[in-house]
Chains A and B, each alone.
Chain A
Amino acid sequence: MWFHSKRLRWTIPWLFLAPALIVFTWFKFVPIIRGLVMSFYKVRFSGSDQWVGLANFERAFSDSALHAATLNTLIYVVSTTIAGGVLSFAVAMALEGQARHIRIIRTAIFIPAVTSIAVLAEIWRILFYPGATGVVNQMLGVFAIAPQGFMSDPDQALFIVILLQIWKNVPYNMVIFIAGLASINRELYDAASVDGASALRKLWHVTIPGLVPAFSVVIMLSLIRGFRVFTEVYTTTGGGPADATEVIMTNIFKTGFERFDYGYAAAVSFLLFAFTVCLTIVHVTVKNRIDRT
């Protein structure tokens, strides 16, 4: 009897989990494992796949197009993380509070975070239209600046896509920072005032230490989003012009679905996955070390 009840207790949670587990296994875990297996093969659409061992992985280290895409991704990640982080922190500081007008502005600012990327990309294309009739070009014209190429100019395209990512991420990060600010003990600010701290000292000794968990979340999300960025680039520039905005994910997409080199695309995907996992482990380790000290 005892055996049965214990067995039942063990079984019931798994029964509840089963539908989700089956769906996830079929649509997520199986493709992940098949992708990993595929990375050791040269995939052929006619005939059987050819085992190539680690050749696809070795190729990734000597692929100049992938290296260029990786460099673009790094620029993308570092810029969006730093600029996005600083900007969202500043916006959060400015928009913290319960006043009605602040709540309205906060809601307005949050709209890009919940809007489809396809829509945002279209807005970006309208704003940064390269001709003289483009919205931003018309504004620049007021200051007698000649129309810019923006997303059609290889020197500017990556910067414009980075701006889109920042615009989309800032409101989301702002909410994380505002939640962090609300959790800071207000008496710490009073104590700092009594201690004679200036506004800058309060920011340094009270606000920023109190926001370490929020910074941690924002940085981690920004890094993961940045390294795996695809939709923002694909819907705006598609990686062009002249591969100026090519990032790792668009490179993988083209390798897999345009050049049909599935094995190699799977190997690069797996390398990106492994790198993201390592990044997360490093981040969690650093965060735990900060928490302990």
Chain B
Amino acid sequence: MGSVSLHNINKSFKAVDVIHDVALEIEDGEFCVLIGPSGSGKSTLLRIIAGLEEVTTGTVSINGKDVTELPPKQRDIAMVFQTYALYPQMTVAENMGFALKLAGMPKAQIAEKVRQTARMLELEPLLERLPKALSGGQRQRVSMGRAIVRDPSVFLFDEPLSNLDAKLRVQVRGEIADLHRRLGTTSIYVTHDQVEAMTLGQKIVVLRDGRVEQAGPPLTLYNDPINTFVASFLGTPSINLIEACVEMRGGEAAARLPDGALLPLGSGHDCREGQAILYGIRPEHVGIVAGGQEGGITATIHAVENTGSDMVILSDAQGFRVSAAFKEQRPLEPGQTVTLIPDHSKVRVFDAGSGKRIRRHENS
């Protein structure tokens, strides 16, 4: 097992800077998820850790050892790829044992290790098959088996579930989580799917344009985002960010929304009278009552999305849109007028210009 440290990593492809001064500590045995939109540099960062991409400046350390200049095979890592990357002409057993064969391990020992790993992943009946005779889920399990059999210090996963259908994705996600629990190997996992990030990660690193926006445990990022990017990237449906203006009422700040509604922000926010802010409230923290009512946002239901287990209401207020989500089934219809009542204790306030979070004072 091993820890991974990235110090001031910069990466440029010719004139284009793709990674900017990334510093990251991943603890021994931790499951770290790198998440971000396309082009955020998450896959490049993973490839830098793997040694498949050279850094422009900075250092990569695995288990305290500087591996920046070492090739992938000397980094004690194993990688699971998006397209599985199984050698098509080799059987499952040959694919799994290939790295061990290249490392010069005796045949009998390779066979034993492959068998053990195959048993763990329930791949034993498939050992003599070629990859083309396997389903997508089986191929991904073989790909994981190929990584596990090497018993590396660090597992690297590059969007391993992207090519699977929705149902299989949930199943393999569970298998990856289970494997991490059993093996306890440090894992770094790249995805753009925030559900995967939230369910698998012990630490989530949100990247944008090659920079780390925020890193921390999933719920910390969800509940305590440092800016609008992190707030809106995590959570489905996305957080409501409503343009508003601060009004001070007897020492307490309140947000004046475009429709004229005045919603309290509570005391202690570091904001001033007239400041332009974004009033952030997650859909599940928005209550809903039928008809117009004081103290809330009056809106007309635009659409109702009912998944059976969840209900999402998309509604139009005057000049902005608000979504609300709840578990119980309610008789709501498009066109109906409702009042949306945010849970004031869950409101997150952001500066409208910079998008940065405006926090409450510690003592308030």
Binding site for B on A (CB under 8 A): 185, 187-188, 190-191, 193-197, 201, 205-206, 209-210, 293
Contacts and interface: CB of A to CB of B under 8 A. Distances in A.
A187 B81 contact: yes
The interface centre, meaning the residue of A187, A193, A196, A209 with most chain B CB atoms within 10 A of its CB, is: A196
Given A197-B102, A201-B102, A191 B71 contact: no
Contact of A209 (B51, B81, B88): B88
Interface in B68-100: 71-73, 77-79, 81-83, 85-90, 98-99
B50 A194 contact: yes
Contacts of B81: 187, 190-191
A205 B87 contact: yes
Shortest 8 CB-CB contacts between residues of A and residues of B: A196-B73, A191-B85, A195-B99, A187-B85, A209-B89, A187-B81, A196-B102, A194-B72
14 contacts: A191-B87, A193-B51, A193-B52, A193-B73, A194-B50, A194-B72, A194-B77, A194-B79, A195-B98, A195-B99, A205-B87, A205-B90, A206-B87, A209-B88
Contacts, number: 54
Contacts of B72: 193-194, 196
B103 interface: yes
Interface of A is mostly: helix
Interface residues of B, number: 25
B141 to A, nearest CB: 15
A185 B52 CA distance: 15
Contact of A194 (B73, B83, B103): B73
Given A190-B52, A209-B88, A209-B89, A196 B83 contact: no
Contacts of B78: 194
A205 B85 CA distance: 12
Contacts of B99: 194-196
Contacts of A196: 72-73, 99, 102-103
Nearest to A208: B89
Interface in B12-71: 47, 50-52, 71
A209 B87 contact: yes
B94 to A, nearest CB: 10
Nearest to B88: A209
A241 B347 CA distance: 95
A201 B103 CA distance: 13
A188 B82 CA distance: 11
Contacts of B71: 193
Contacts of A194: 50, 52, 72-73, 77-79, 99
The interface centre, meaning the residue of A194, A205, A206 with most chain B CB atoms within 10 A of its CB, is: A194
Nearest to B99: A195
Given A187-B81, A188-B85, A190-B52, 18 more contacts: A187-B83, A190-B81, A190-B85, A191-B81, A191-B146, A193-B71, A193-B73, A194-B50, A194-B72, A195-B102, A196-B72, A196-B103, A197-B102, A201-B102, A205-B98, A206-B87, A209-B89, A210-B88
